[in-house]
Amino acid sequence: MLQPLLLRYPKEVAILLNKWNKSKNPWERRASVVVFVRTIGETGKYTKQCIKLCNNLLEDQERLVLQGVGWALKDTMRGDKKRVLDYVKKLRQQAVSSVITLYALRDLRGKAKSDVLKVKAKRYA
């Protein structure tokens, strides 16, 4: 239901998504990013907004929220592969939850996937 609204009323829906992204309700936090799956993600038009909202949820304690983040990144990667792939590599360097990165990489195959999986977390002394 949110995807058609996002296409028709992008500013108004962006305000709603930003609010939900900070909600105490895990279902609202999840919905704030899963709006970018499938058709919306494949357009490549909402990459910046998707990454911003996903970035806010990297430390979320709810597994379903983390899965939603990974799912949104996976589908957004279809529309803006380089940008999202670079972001996922940075997430691996930051040692964010593998739930996010492994969901994000589900569509990748071969060398592209193995290159991302080789990225190790930076250790700080």
* pLDDT digits 0-9 by tens, 77-123: 999 999 999 999 999 999 999 999 999 999 999 998 898 888 888 76
Predicted TM-score (pTM) of the model is: 0.91
C-alpha count within 13 angstroms, C-beta hemisphere, residue 6 = 22
Residue 123: the pLDDT is 67
Burial of residue 11, with CB atoms counted within 10 A of its CB: 0-12 exposed, 13-18 middle, 19 or more buried: exposed
The answer to whether residue 124 scores a pLDDT higher than 70 is: no
* pLDDT digits 0-9 by tens, 19-57: 999 999 999 999 999 999 999 999 999 999 999 999 999
Per-domain residue ranges of the chain: 2-117
Q: What is 2-117's CATH topology?
A: Leucine-rich Repeat Variant (1.25.10)
